[in-house]
Structures are given as C-alpha cells and as structure tokens.
Amino acid sequence: MNGNWIIILISLIPIFTSMKMVFKKNYKNNIKNSLFLSISVIFGIYILLYGVHNIGSDKAGLGLWMYLFALCVMIWEMLSSWSEIDTSLNSKLNFVINLVVPVLFGISLLFLWQVLTVGLKIPHILLPSPLKIGIAFSNSIPMLWEDFQQTFLKAVLSGYFMGCFSGFIIAIMVDRIPFLQKGLLPLGNLISALPIIGIAPIMVMWFGFDWQSKAAVVVIMTFFPMLVNTITGLSVTGQIEKDLLHSYAANYWQNLILLRIPVSLPFVFNALKINSTLALIGAIVAEFFGTPIVGMGFRISAEIGRLNVDIVWATILVAAVSGSMFYALITICERSLTSWHPSIREN
Amino acid sequence: MIRRLRDSSLIPVSVVVAFIILIWYAGAVYLNSPVLIDRYERQKTEWNFEKLRQDAWAMERPILPAPHQILKDMNKSILQRKVTSKRSLVYHGWVTISSTLVGFGIGALLGIVLAVGIVYIPTLNRSVMPWIIASQTIPILAIAPMIIVGLGSIGLTGLFPKSIISAYLCFFPVTIGMVKGLRSPDPIHMDLMKTYCASDSHTFFKLRWPSSTPFLFASLKVSIAISLVGAIVGELPAGAQAGLGARLLTGSYYGQTIQIWSALICASILAAILVFLMIAIEKIVLKKMGGRLV
C-alpha cells in the first residue's frame, strides 16, 4: 500500500511541471528550465514503464494511453525547449545541445517502442521490445562476437580495403589516359546504379562458402563508387594551382602527390563513406546464398527460421552499431585530413 | 559532325564495352577449361584448343557463361514465352518493377514530407536529422528477409512488404537532397518574399519548392536505382515465388548459372531504363519550369 502512494506521487511530478510551464509568467527556455523539464519527463517515463509492466495479461487501459499521450506532448516540449536555447554566443554550449537533443530523442523513441510493444501486447515475432533484445544481446555475446569476426573483421574489412584501394589505384592510372577516362566514367556511373548485389550467388559459386566469396562481393560493390569518385576528384584541380606548380617545374608525380590527390580527397572520402554501408550490406546478403554456420547473415536467416526474433534483432544491433562506428571513424579521418574544405570549415 | 563525334564519349564508351566483352569471352574459356579438361581426361577424348574454346562457350552449367549464351537464354525467356508464363522473365520483371515503383512512391513522399518538416520545424532539425543519417548505416537490405517474414506472419504478403524495404532505402536521399534544396534560395530572394508580405505557404510554393526541384530530381535518380535493389533483395527469402530476386535464388540453388546471369542482366537493364526515364522526366519538368540543369 505504501509503495502505491509513492508511485502516484511520482506520477504527479510531470503534471506539476507542466502547470508551472503554463502558469508562470515570463517562462523562458533556458538551461535550468530545460533540465527541470527533462528530469520530470524521466520520472514520467519511469512511471509509465512501471505501469505497463505491472498490468498483468490484459492490454493497457485508457488511462495509461492518455498519460502516454500527455507525456509525448511533454517530450516534444522538452526537445523544443532544448533546441530553442539561444546558443549563438557560445559554441561549446551549441556542441553540447547538438548532442543532447538527438540523444534525448533516441531515448524517447526507445521508450515509446518499449511501452507500445508491451502495452499493446504486440506479438513477439513481429517486434520484440527493446528490453528483450537487450537481454538476448547480453546472453549471446560470445556467439555474436564470432559472427562479428567472421562477417565484419574477415569479409567486410578485407573486401573493403581491396575494393577501395584497387578502385583508387586504377582511377589514378585511368586518369593518365583521357580516352579511357571518357569511356569509363559514364560506364562506372551506370554500374554504380545497377543492382550489383545480384552477383552474390555467382561469387559464392566461384569462391566457395567461406568468407572469401563475401569479400569478393564487397570488392566488386565498393570498386565502382571509388573509381568514379576518384576520377571526378582528380579532375577538379583549379587552373591557378596547376599553373603555380607548373611554374615550380613540378613533374607529374609531384603534381599528383602534392596537389591533385589532396584536392580529390573530399571525393575519395565521399566514396569511402558510401562504401562503408555498401560493404556491410554486401557481406551480409552474400551469406544468404551459402555460408559456414557462422556469420551475421547466417545468424539472421537461421534464427528467423527458428522464430528467435530477439537474437535476430540483437544481430541487427551489432550490424547497426558496427556500421555506425565504421562510418564515424571515416568521418573523423575526413575531418582531420580535409579540414581545409569549405563544407567542413562551415561547421 | 566529326568534331561532335570526337567530343562525345560515344567512341570511348563503345571501345571500353567491346574490351570488356572480349575479356569476358576470354575469361569464360579460362574459368571453364579446368572442368572441361578434367572431363576430357576422364573420357580419354582427344582435345585441342579450338575444341576447348567451342565447348567452353557452350556448356550447359558453365562457371562463367559466354555473353551469347546469356543473350540466347534471355531471348528464350523474354520473347519466346508467353508474358503470363511463370518462366517468362517479363513476368518476373513486372513483379519486381511493381513493388519497386510502389516503394519508390511511398519513399519519395515520405522523404519530401520529412524534409519540409525539418526545414520548417527547428526541433525536428535538431532531433531527427542525426538519426536520419544514422538510419542509413543500418544494413536494411541485410534484414530485409526478416522484415518480410515478420510481416508475412501477420498476414501481410506479396507486394507491400517488399515496397516497405524499397521505401526505407528511398527516403534517405530524397530527404537529404530536399533539405538542401528547400534551403537553397538566396537570402535576397527570401527577403524579397518578405517585402511582398508573403505568407509561409506562399514562400514555400512560389520560392522554396521551385528552387528545390533540381535537387529533388538528383535525389530521385539515386532513389529509384536503390529502390530496385531493395525490391530484388526483398524477394530473396524462400517465400517469394516470383520476381528477379527469386530467379537469382532458384538459379543459385540449382546451379543454373545462365539463369542467374540473365536475371542479373535483366535487372541491370531495368535499372538503366528507370534511371533514364527519371532523367527524361527531369529534363521535361525543368524545361517547363524554365530552369537550368544543375
């Protein structure tokens, strides 16, 4: 009985906060008020999670959904209150808020997902709740780590490096011959738009079931974006810079290394970024066509057959996190290597 | 005339294509010969290079089929069979293309709506934008089979689940392009609209929307190509009986390399047609609007 009173009291906290927002004169969006709002939203989230997990076998009642609706409005208010804080004079604050708002948004989405799946009793096969996915993830870390090694460390990384590197080298070679450049650029653009992923069954036939065939798919998928982007990047050098190096009597290699490759770097990084997601997709899809009993694609197709959807989602989590980290790593490299480029200086 | 021919990329492209086909034929001989030589030696038949070459280009289940074999198979399965037949590539292509187009429509619409929201609502800009970029690092294609099976378990089958995957892939380029496009009007023009006392909707329809169309088409071209990829991968799970993806899968199960290649070439031709269609629409629309190509 005692515990229930505490629950009811906590559930009233967001209501008091919203009262304060509505009735207080001169209410302003500053850090103090935003923090206050966020804390009361967190209390509301706690109450809803508590409520939705303690309602037994029935679907949640009307009262809970109305509370959820009100809380969603508050979450929206919280997000806008954070994002309307005046940061024009303080770049550090701006950075923090640019981080805080998306994180809060992500947490709210996870929370909504949890409440809706549990409250509506959505069948586990269709969409497991984040909590279940988390439990499945922590229970099967060794297995997921093996899959990660097989798919990401072996197939994706080796294919990615081979594909990107050969695309880069061949682009530099092609660049010397204008005729080839004219012929390859439209073709490369066309091939980049084609569903190359269909080559996966053929590669599995050629290179066997192990990671080599997946790496081959990744090589082919990453080669053409790299080729096209590097050829374009090498051709954007300004005339003034070329003339300057000419007046220094620079030879071809000096020209290439000191001027043209640095200038093409934004394009190269663009290709590297596109390829980072393509590589992961290529490796996982290729595993659907035949694989040893390890690997992320194998795990997805095997566990879906046994209706262990939470493990599938845990694998997806691994893929998403590793894909994002890979992308973030490339972005960090890009920022340090092409810091002179206007698109980065703007931020 | 000669000068135009020299400046255009027609000759270099055709030379490169011819070179690729040449390598392909050579590769067919090189890759298929170990199997053939093995067979010759078991049957103890005399063989020379000429016989090897002829056999390598006419195997029933080659490791790499020669281009003319693929063309023959495509001719057989596109022109010789009735369109409604389950063995006709036209039928399978139509299945794929219909879900591609539905997904493309949903995705493009969603992308535009999201972009408008992001441009007009600052909260959305700060909270959603990073997640939109993060959403693309999730290998959705890789989990496509799961989405299909999951939706199938609640009775959603056929066209719709495949279109969802296409739509998920499509919306991203459209959103990114449209956010850029809707923000592309010069401050001078925005100020001009202000001096006219234009409402938000006027500014949107008379200034922001028209100036974003080149960006829109640039994204749509990317979108329609990946939409096709999404539809094909959506057909890979064993449940799908029709579509180019299903052809790829059955081909790989039964070792029918020629069937895989002809499905692949067919998909490529479809992709090229869709992109060229988009380019044609872009040219017509921009011409009608009096704009320039970006």
Considering the domain architecture, whether residues A190 and A325 belong to the same structural domain is answered as yes
**Residue A84 falls inside a structural domain:** yes
> pLDDT at position B195, please?
93
- Do residue A83 and residue B137 have CB atoms under 8 angstroms apart? no
Considering the domain architecture, whether residues A16 and A98 belong to the same structural domain is answered as yes
- Do residue B153 and residue A199 have CB atoms under 8 angstroms apart? no
Per residue in B53-73, pLDDT (tens digit) is 777 777 777 778 888 888 888
| Domain parsing of chain B, residue ranges | 2-64, 89-289
Considering the domain architecture, whether residues A179 and A60 belong to the same structural domain is answered as no
Domain stops at, among A89, A122, A155: A122
Nearest to A125 among B150, B229, B263 (CB): B150
What domain range is A118 assigned to?
A: 2-122
Domain stops at, among A122, A150, A180: A122
**Residue A150 falls inside a structural domain:** yes
Nearest CA to A41 out of A27, A61, A21 is that of A21
**Residue A168 falls inside a structural domain:** yes
| Shortest Cα distance, chain B CAs vs residue A95, angstroms | 11
Q: Tens digit of pLDDT per residue, chain B (294 long)?
A: 667 666 677 788 888 888 888 988 888 888 888 888 888 888 877 777 777 777 777 777 777 888 888 888 888 777 777 766 777 778 888 888 998 999 999 999 999 999 999 888 888 887 887 788 777 767 777 667 677 777 777 777 777 888 888 888 888 889 888 888 888 888 888 899 999 998 888 888 888 888 888 888 888 888 898 888 888 888 876 555 778 888 887 877 777 788 888 888 888 888 888 988 998 998 888 888 875 544
| Shortest Cα distance, chain B CAs vs residue A246, angstroms | 26
**Residue A131 falls inside a structural domain:** no
Domain count, chain A: 2
What is the sign, positive or negative, of the torsion defined by CA atoms of A327, A329, A335, A338?
negative
Nearest to B137 among A101, A290, A324 (CB): A324
The 8-class DSSP code of residue A144 comes to: H
Contacts of A297 in chain B (CB under 8 A): 142
Query: Residues 6 or more apart from A161 whose CB is under 8 A from it?
Result: none
Considering the domain architecture, whether residues A36 and A174 belong to the same structural domain is answered as no
| Shortest Cα distance, chain A CAs vs residue B10, angstroms | 8
| Shortest Cα distance, chain B CAs vs residue A68, angstroms | 20
Contacts of B263 in chain A (CB under 8 A): 198
**Residue A184 falls inside a structural domain:** yes
The helix (H) or strand (E) run that includes residue A108 is: helix A91-119
- Does residue A221 contact residue A195 with C-beta atoms inside 8 Å? no
Per residue in A76-105, pLDDT (tens digit) is 888 888 887 777 777 788 888 888 888 888
Considering the domain architecture, whether residues A186 and A102 belong to the same structural domain is answered as no
- Do residue B257 and residue A277 have CB atoms under 8 angstroms apart? no
Looking up tokens 């992709």 gives B271
Alpha-helical runs (H) found in A248-308: 252-254, 261-286, 296-305
The total number of residues written for chain B in this structure: 294
What is the sign, positive or negative, of the torsion defined by CA atoms of B278, B230, B243, B268?
positive
**How many Cα atoms are found within 13 Å in the side-chain-facing hemisphere of A78?**
26
Q: Which of residues 175-204 of B touch A (CB under 8 A)?
A: none
Alpha-carbon distance A178 to B237, whole Å?
44
> Which residue did the predictor score with more confidence, A159 or A42?
A159
CATH code assigned at A164:
1.10.3720.10
The mean pLDDT of A279-286, rounded to a whole number, is 85
- Do residue A301 and residue B145 have CB atoms under 8 angstroms apart? yes
What is the maximal distance between C-alpha atoms in chain A? 89
Considering the domain architecture, whether residues A65 and A189 belong to the same structural domain is answered as no
Of all residues in chain B, the one with the smallest CA distance to A287 is: B142
Of all residues in chain A, the one with the smallest CA distance to B152 is: A126
Q: What is the DSSP string of chain B?
A: -HHHHHHSSHHHHHHHHHHHHHHHHHHHHHHHHHHHHHHHHHHT----HHHHHHHHTT-SS-SS--HHHHHHHHHIIIIIS-TTSTT-HHHHHHHHHHHHHHHHHHHHHHHHHHHHHHHH-HHHHHHHHHHHHHHTTS-HHHHHHHHHHHHHHTT--THHHHHHHHHHHHHHHHHHHHHHHHT-S-HHHHHHHHHTT--HHHHIIIIIHHHHHHHHHHHHHHHHHHHHHHHHHHT-STT--SSHHHHHHHHHHTT-HHHHHHHHHHHHHHHHHHHHHHHHHHHHHHHHHT----
**Residue A127 falls inside a structural domain:** no
Confidence of residue A160 (pLDDT cuts 50, 70, 90): very high
Considering the domain architecture, whether residues A70 and A106 belong to the same structural domain is answered as yes
Q: Which of residues 233-262 of B touch A (CB under 8 A)?
A: 233, 236-237, 244-245, 248-249, 251-252, 255, 257, 260-261
Per residue in B78-125, pLDDT (tens digit) is 777 776 677 777 888 888 899 899 999 999 999 999 999 988 888 888
Considering the domain architecture, whether residues A196 and A320 belong to the same structural domain is answered as yes
Considering the domain architecture, whether residues A35 and A109 belong to the same structural domain is answered as yes
CATH of B89-289, one of 3.40.50.300, 3.40.630.10, 3.40.1410.10, 1.10.3720.10: 1.10.3720.10
What is the maximal distance between C-alpha atoms in chain B? 92
Counting one residue from A and one from B, how many pairs have CB atoms under 8 Å apart?
Answer: 167
Query: With an 8 Å Cβ cutoff, is B143 touching chain A?
Result: yes
pTM over 0.95: no
Alpha-carbon distance A11 to A255, whole Å?
68
- Do residue B137 and residue A327 have CB atoms under 8 angstroms apart? yes
Confidence of residue A346 (pLDDT cuts 50, 70, 90): low
Considering the domain architecture, whether residues A115 and A143 belong to the same structural domain is answered as no
| Shortest Cα distance, chain A CAs vs residue B171, angstroms | 16
> pLDDT at position B5, please?
67
Q: Is the ipTM of this complex over 0.90?
A: no
**Residue A130 falls inside a structural domain:** no
**Residue A133 falls inside a structural domain:** no
Looking up tokens 């490529």 gives B268
Angle, in degrees to the nearest 10, between helices A211-234 and A178-193: 130
Considering the domain architecture, whether residues A213 and A313 belong to the same structural domain is answered as yes
Nearest to B16 among A127, A183, A324 (CB): A183
Query: With an 8 Å Cβ cutoff, is B229 touching chain A?
Result: yes
Per residue in A41-51, pLDDT (tens digit) is 888 888 888 87
Alpha-carbon distance B124 to B126, whole Å?
5
In this prediction, what percent of chain A has a pLDDT beyond 70?
Answer: 95
Domain stops at, among A122, A155, A188: A122
What are the tokens at A238? 């300004």
